[in-house]
Amino acid sequence: MRTSRYLLSEVLNPWMRGAAMLAGAISPRRKPLSPDQSLVQRERDVIGAITQALEDARRARDKTGEQIFGWLYGFAGSSHA
C-alpha cells in the first residue's frame, strides 16, 4: 500500500500535480447519482462479479492446496498413507 501511494505521489510522478489540481476543482461540484441510475446498477454488477471471481479463486486455491497436501502426506482416513 505504501508503494502504490509513493508511485502515485507528486514526488515520483510529476503528472500527478495536474491530477491534484483537477481533483481540487472537481471535488466541490461532486453529487451522488440517484440509485436508479444505470451506472450505479452497472457498478454494483461489476462489484458482484469481481467478488464472485475472488471467491471462486479462493475456493480453487484452497482445493488445490488440500490436494497437494493429500498427495504429499496422504489423505485423512485413507489406507494409502
User: How far is residue 10's CA from residue 60's CA, in Å, rounded to a whole number?
Assistant: 40
**Residue written as grid cell 482445493:** 63
For residue 50, what are the domain limits? 33-81
- Determine the Cα–Cα distance for residues 69 and 65; give it in Å rounded to an integer: 6
At residue 1, the pLDDT reads 63
Cell digits for 56?
471462486
Angle of CA points 37, 53, 5, to nearest 5°: 75
- What is the chain's pLDDT, residue by residue, as a tens digit (81 residues)? 677 777 778 788 888 888 888 989 999 999 998 989 999 999 999 999 999 999 999 999 999 999 999 999 987 666 654
Looking at the structure, tell me whether residues 46 and 80 fall in a common domain: yes
Q: Is the pTM of this model over 0.95?
A: no
Encoded amino acid at 22, one letter: L
The answer on 78 and 47 residing in a single domain is: yes
pLDDT of 14 reads 85
Residues 55 and 73 in one domain: yes
Distance CA 10, CA 33 (A): 30
Examine the domain organization and report whether 24 and 40 are in the same domain: no
Residues 41 and 80 in one domain: yes
The structural domain count of the chain equals 2
